[in-house]
């Protein structure tokens, strides 16, 4: 078993974080990931904005009348119950956009209350992952929760801000990753070692990581583990619709594009709507924002239904071009870890011995 500072810190088997990919539900995926020995992450933005009813909500028509706080509390209870026997470790992903401050506050409070009211849950609900906003105003409530704080950073500047805010771990997210990305095209091979050198915190690598070889590359550059998003979408237990998984299988290394999204640029799998979002971004973010936001909103709703694949939003990274099967989460984690161990074992043979 591959042990790193991340596995020791969290008490997990694999140095792998399953990305939180809101506004889509990830509670079933988080259960499968946690129970198989990774860090499972529950997405909260879909609950906050009531874009999709959580699995735990028995009467789906009650979505409109249930507060975001209560939606997350019932979701955390649902995940907690299904990870208790295996002792699965999980966390929540919370965007920090200032425009949605009240919703962010409720998501942090729900997580904190769940930990404080249930000791067993506190032992396993270990992490709050934040992104898409300034972390400094959120230091006090996140620290008061008692959870470890992982902050996603697409640049050295953002990583240093996360360190200043008091984060425990930085997730350095290269631009080849799916979903929200930096305006500047700095990819993982450059970003990761730069962030490792710049901060005095452990660093998890994100963006382009999908197998054992890429995991080893992250460790070689100083990371304590990797976060994977696109690779986890294409698993049997993931909450995402089948057409999304099929879209990943059909993609090649050029099968994604960066376009306008609500919080900035985002990387999408290529189709009619994502190519239009790419055109709008190239015109200028402000100039294309209104049309882009409308297209993204409609495309996200279509993605919940699995309809009209031309106009559906499919977040996805460049790693989609390297994904050719849809395993169970347990099979994926086993294969990634065993491949990483094989790569490490054969590395000495890749180095030429000194000539006599």
181-237: pLDDT as tens digits: 999 899 999 999 999 999 999 999 999 999 999 999 999 999 999 999 999 999 999
Q: CA distances (Å), 42 to each of 28, 87, 102, 119, 147, in order?
A: 9, 16, 19, 19, 14
Nearest to 266 by CA among 233, 242, 299: 299
Give me the pLDDT at residue 3, please.
95
Give me the pLDDT at residue 356, please.
55
pLDDT band at residue 99 under the 50/70/90 scheme: confident
Give me the pLDDT at residue 171, please.
98
* Predicted confidence (pLDDT) at residue 142 exceeds the cutoff of 90: yes
Give the separation between CA 87 and CA 115, rounded to whole angstroms: 15
Mean pLDDT, residues 279-308 taken together: 92
Give me the pLDDT at residue 110, please.
96
What residues are paired with 92 via a beta bridge? 42, 128
pLDDT band at residue 177 under the 50/70/90 scheme: very high
Q: Which helix (H) or strand (E) holds 322?
A: none
Give me the pLDDT at residue 112, please.
96
Domains of the chain, by residue range, sit at 5-238, 241-325
pLDDT band at residue 312 under the 50/70/90 scheme: very high
Contacts of 13 (CB under 8 A, 6+ apart): 1, 7, 36, 37, 38, 333, 337
Give me the pLDDT at residue 49, please.
85
Mean pLDDT, residues 268-292 taken together: 95
3-state helix, strand, coil in the chain (%, to 5): 50, 15, 35
* Predicted confidence (pLDDT) at residue 282 exceeds the cutoff of 90: yes
Indicate the CATH number of 5-238 among 3.40.50.2300, 3.40.50.300, 3.20.20.70, 3.30.390.50. 3.20.20.70
Give the separation between CA 117 and CA 256, rounded to whole angstroms: 43
Task: For residue 155, give both structure tokens.
Answer: 């640049």
Mean pLDDT, residues 286-305 taken together: 92
Give me the pLDDT at residue 355, please.
57
Angle between helices 68-83 and 101-117 (to 10 degrees): 40
Residue 97 φ/ψ region, left for φ over 0, alpha for ψ in the -120 to 50 degree band, beta for the rest: beta
Reduced 3-state DSSP string for 100-133: HHHHHHHHHHHHHHHHHHCHHHHHHEEEEEEECC
Give me the pLDDT at residue 251, please.
96
Residue 167 and residue 147 in contact, taking contact as beta carbons nearer than 8 Å: no
What's this model's pTM, rounded to 2 decimal places?
Answer: 0.95
What pLDDT digit, counting tens, does each position of 266-277 carry? 999 999 999 999
pLDDT band at residue 354 under the 50/70/90 scheme: low
Give the separation between CA 177 and CA 17, rounded to whole angstroms: 14
Residue 22 φ/ψ region, left for φ over 0, alpha for ψ in the -120 to 50 degree band, beta for the rest: beta
Question: How high is the mean pLDDT of the chain?
Answer: 94
* Predicted confidence (pLDDT) at residue 342 exceeds the cutoff of 90: yes
């Amino acid at each position: 078993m591959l042990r790193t500072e991340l596995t020791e810190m969290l008490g997990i088997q694999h140095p792998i974080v399953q990305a939180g990919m809101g506004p889509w539900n990830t509670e079933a995926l988080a259960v499968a990931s946690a129970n198989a020995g990774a860090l499972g992450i529950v997405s909260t933005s879909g609950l906050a904005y009531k874009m999709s009813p959580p699995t735990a909500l028995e009467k789906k028509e009650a979505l409109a009348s249930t507060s975001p706080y209560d939606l997350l509390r019932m979701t955390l209870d649902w995940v907690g119950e299904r990870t208790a026997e295996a002792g699965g470790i999980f966390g929540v992903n919370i965007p920090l956009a200032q425009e949605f401050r009240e919703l962010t506050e409720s998501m942090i409070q729900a997580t904190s209350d769940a930990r404080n009211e249930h000791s067993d849950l506190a032992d396993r609900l270990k992490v709050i992952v934040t992104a898409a906003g300034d972390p400094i105003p959120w230091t006090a409530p996140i620290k008061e929760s008692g959870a470890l704080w992982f902050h996603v950073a697409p640049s050295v500047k953002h990583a240093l801000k996360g360190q200043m805010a008091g984060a425990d771990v930085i997730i350095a997210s290269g631009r080849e990753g799916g979903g929200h990305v930096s305006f500047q095209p700095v990819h993982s091979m450059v970003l990761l070692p730069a962030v490792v050198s710049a901060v005095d915190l452990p660093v998890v690598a994100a963006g382009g990581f999908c197998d054992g070889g890429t995991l080893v590359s992250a460790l070689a550059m100083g990371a304590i583990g990797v976060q994977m998003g696109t690779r986890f979408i294409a698993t049997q237990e993931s909450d995402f619709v089948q057409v999304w998984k099929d879209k990943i299988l059909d993609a090649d290394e050029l099968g994604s594009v960066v376009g306008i999204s609500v919080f900035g640029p985002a990387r999408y799998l290529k189709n009619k709507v994502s190519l239009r979002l790419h055109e709008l971004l190239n015109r200028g973010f402000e100039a294309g924002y209104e049309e882009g936001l409308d297209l993204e909103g409609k495309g996200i709703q279509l993605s919940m239904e699995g309809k009209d694949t031309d106009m559906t939003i499919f977040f996805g990274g460049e790693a989609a071009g390297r994904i050719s099967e849809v395993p169970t989460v347990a099979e994926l984690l086993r294969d990634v870890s065993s491949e990483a161990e094989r790569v490490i074992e054969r590395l000495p043979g890749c180095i030429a011995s000194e000539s006599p």
